[in-house]
Protein backbone atom coordinates (compact mmCIF):
# COMPACT_ATOMS: atom_id res chain seq x y z
CA UNK A 1 0.00 0.00 0.00
CA UNK A 2 1.39 3.38 -0.98
CA UNK A 3 1.20 6.24 1.48
CA UNK A 4 0.98 9.75 0.10
CA UNK A 5 3.43 12.29 1.40
CA UNK A 6 2.07 14.70 3.98
CA UNK A 7 2.90 17.79 1.86
CA UNK A 8 0.42 16.66 -0.81
CA UNK A 9 -2.30 16.26 1.80
CA UNK A 10 -1.39 19.66 3.22
CA UNK A 11 -1.74 21.23 -0.23
CA UNK A 12 -5.30 19.93 -0.56
CA UNK A 13 -6.19 21.09 2.94
CA UNK A 14 -4.64 24.48 2.14
CA UNK A 15 -6.79 24.69 -1.01
CA UNK A 16 -9.86 24.02 1.14
CA UNK A 17 -8.86 26.91 3.40
CA UNK A 18 -8.40 29.16 0.37
CA UNK A 19 -11.87 28.20 -0.84
CA UNK A 20 -13.30 29.08 2.57
CA UNK A 21 -11.55 32.46 2.36
CA UNK A 22 -13.12 33.47 -0.95
CA UNK A 23 -15.17 36.65 -0.73
CA UNK A 24 -18.78 36.11 0.30
CA UNK A 25 -18.12 32.40 0.69
CA UNK A 26 -18.09 29.96 3.56
CA UNK A 27 -17.03 26.33 3.78
CA UNK A 28 -20.03 24.26 4.88
CA UNK A 29 -18.58 20.74 4.66
CA UNK A 30 -15.44 18.97 3.49
CA UNK A 31 -15.02 15.29 2.68
CA UNK A 32 -12.17 13.09 3.71
CA UNK A 33 -9.15 13.04 1.44
CA UNK A 34 -8.99 10.24 -1.12
CA UNK A 35 -6.13 8.84 -3.20
CA UNK A 36 -6.83 7.78 -6.78
CA UNK A 37 -4.92 7.03 -9.94
CA UNK A 38 -5.28 9.58 -12.73
CA UNK A 39 -8.51 9.19 -14.68
CA UNK A 40 -8.10 9.29 -18.48
CA UNK A 41 -4.56 10.62 -17.99
CA UNK A 42 -1.11 9.48 -16.92
CA UNK A 43 1.08 10.59 -14.06
CA UNK A 44 1.22 10.28 -10.31
CA UNK A 45 -1.78 9.53 -8.12
CA UNK A 46 -4.05 12.39 -7.11
CA UNK A 47 -5.47 13.39 -3.78
CA UNK A 48 -9.13 14.31 -4.16
CA UNK A 49 -11.81 15.79 -1.95
CA UNK A 50 -15.19 17.47 -2.33
CA UNK A 51 -16.36 20.52 -0.43
CA UNK A 52 -19.71 22.22 -0.04
CA UNK A 53 -19.55 26.00 -0.18
CA UNK A 54 -22.19 28.58 0.62
CA UNK A 55 -21.49 31.58 -1.58
CA UNK A 56 -23.11 34.74 -2.85
CA UNK A 57 -20.91 34.56 -5.95
CA UNK A 58 -22.76 33.56 -9.08
CA UNK A 59 -21.45 30.48 -10.89
CA UNK A 60 -19.28 32.35 -13.45
CA UNK A 61 -17.77 34.49 -10.67
CA UNK A 62 -17.07 31.39 -8.60
CA UNK A 63 -15.45 29.68 -11.59
CA UNK A 64 -13.20 32.71 -12.10
CA UNK A 65 -12.14 32.58 -8.45
CA UNK A 66 -11.41 28.84 -8.69
CA UNK A 67 -9.28 29.41 -11.79
CA UNK A 68 -7.35 32.12 -9.95
CA UNK A 69 -6.63 29.70 -7.12
CA UNK A 70 -5.46 27.07 -9.62
CA UNK A 71 -3.17 29.58 -11.35
CA UNK A 72 -1.80 30.67 -7.98
CA UNK A 73 -0.95 27.03 -7.26
CA UNK A 74 1.01 26.80 -10.51
CA UNK A 75 -1.54 25.28 -12.86
CA UNK A 76 -0.83 25.70 -16.55
CA UNK A 77 -3.39 24.64 -19.13
CA UNK A 78 -0.89 23.33 -21.67
CA UNK A 79 -3.10 20.47 -22.95
CA UNK A 80 -6.23 18.52 -22.00
CA UNK A 81 -5.74 16.51 -18.79
CA UNK A 82 -2.20 17.84 -18.34
CA UNK A 83 -0.70 17.09 -14.92
CA UNK A 84 -1.61 19.89 -12.55
CA UNK A 85 -0.90 20.79 -8.96
CA UNK A 86 -4.51 21.84 -8.32
CA UNK A 87 -7.75 21.16 -10.20
CA UNK A 88 -10.92 22.78 -8.88
CA UNK A 89 -14.30 22.09 -10.48
CA UNK A 90 -17.84 23.22 -9.82
CA UNK A 91 -19.73 19.94 -9.62
CA UNK A 92 -23.10 21.36 -8.66
CA UNK A 93 -24.42 24.85 -8.06
CA UNK A 94 -27.51 24.28 -5.96
CA UNK A 95 -30.09 22.79 -8.27
CA UNK A 96 -29.03 24.98 -11.21
CA UNK A 97 -28.44 23.65 -14.68
CA UNK A 98 -25.84 25.75 -16.51
CA UNK A 99 -24.58 25.23 -20.03
CA UNK A 100 -22.13 27.73 -21.46
CA UNK A 101 -18.83 27.44 -23.32
CA UNK A 102 -16.99 28.11 -20.06
CA UNK A 103 -19.09 26.14 -17.58
CA UNK A 104 -21.38 23.13 -17.45
CA UNK A 105 -23.26 22.33 -14.24
CA UNK A 106 -23.85 19.66 -13.14
CA UNK A 107 -20.31 18.72 -14.11
CA UNK A 108 -20.75 16.63 -17.27
CA UNK A 109 -18.48 13.75 -16.20
CA UNK A 110 -19.03 13.63 -12.46
CA UNK A 111 -21.19 10.51 -12.63
CA UNK A 112 -18.33 8.62 -14.31
CA UNK A 113 -15.78 9.24 -11.57
CA UNK A 114 -15.45 7.52 -8.22
CA UNK A 115 -13.10 10.29 -7.07
CA UNK A 116 -16.08 12.65 -7.31
CA UNK A 117 -18.99 10.45 -6.25
CA UNK A 118 -17.43 8.76 -3.22
CA UNK A 119 -16.41 11.99 -1.42
CA UNK A 120 -19.64 13.70 -2.53
CA UNK A 121 -21.67 10.82 -1.06
CA UNK A 122 -19.75 11.24 2.20
CA UNK A 123 -20.83 14.86 2.72
CA UNK A 124 -24.04 15.07 0.65
CA UNK A 125 -25.49 11.55 0.52
CA UNK A 126 -28.80 12.84 -0.86
CA UNK A 127 -26.92 13.89 -4.03
CA UNK A 128 -25.58 10.41 -4.91
CA UNK A 129 -27.61 7.26 -5.43
CA UNK A 130 -26.52 3.69 -4.74
CA UNK A 131 -26.76 2.92 -8.44
CA UNK A 132 -24.44 5.86 -9.25
CA UNK A 133 -21.90 4.58 -6.73
CA UNK A 134 -22.31 1.07 -8.13
CA UNK A 135 -21.50 2.32 -11.63
CA UNK A 136 -18.03 3.47 -10.46
CA UNK A 137 -17.37 0.68 -7.96
CA UNK A 138 -14.61 -0.84 -10.12
CA UNK A 139 -12.50 2.33 -9.85
CA UNK A 140 -9.88 2.14 -7.09
CA UNK A 141 -10.21 4.84 -4.46
CA UNK A 142 -8.55 4.89 -1.05
CA UNK A 143 -9.59 7.04 1.90
CA UNK A 144 -6.62 8.73 3.53
CA UNK A 145 -8.43 10.03 6.59
CA UNK A 146 -9.91 6.86 8.02
Displacement of CA 10 from its chain's centroid (Å): 15
With a cut of 60, say whether residue 77 has pLDDT above it.
no
* In-domain check, residue 112: yes
* In-domain check, residue 1: no
Instruction: Report pLDDT digits (tens) over 89-137.
Output: 999 999 999 999 999 999 999 999 999 999 999 999 999 999 999 999 9
List beta partners, residue 53: 27
* In-domain check, residue 36: yes
Question: Are the C-beta atoms of 139 and 115 separated by less than 8 Å?
Answer: yes
Question: Are the C-beta atoms of 34 and 118 separated by less than 8 Å?
Answer: yes
Structural domain of 21: 6-143
Instruction: Provide the pairing of β-strand 25-30 with 51-55.
Output: antiparallel
* CATH number where 59 lies: 3.30.70.560
* In-domain check, residue 97: yes
Q: Which residues are catalytic?
A: 75, 84, 87, 89
* In-domain check, residue 40: yes
Q: The pTM is what?
A: 0.86
Question: Are the C-beta atoms of 142 and 118 separated by less than 8 Å?
Answer: no
* In-domain check, residue 132: yes
* In-domain check, residue 49: yes
Instruction: Report pLDDT digits (tens) over 22-39.
Output: 999 999 999 999 999 877
| Number of domains composing the chain | 1
**What is the chain's percent helix, strand, coil content, to nearest 5?**
35, 15, 50
Amino acid sequence: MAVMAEPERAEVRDAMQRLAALTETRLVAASSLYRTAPFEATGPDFINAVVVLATRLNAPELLLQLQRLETGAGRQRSYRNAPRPLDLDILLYGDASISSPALQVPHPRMLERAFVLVPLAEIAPHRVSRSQLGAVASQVIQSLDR
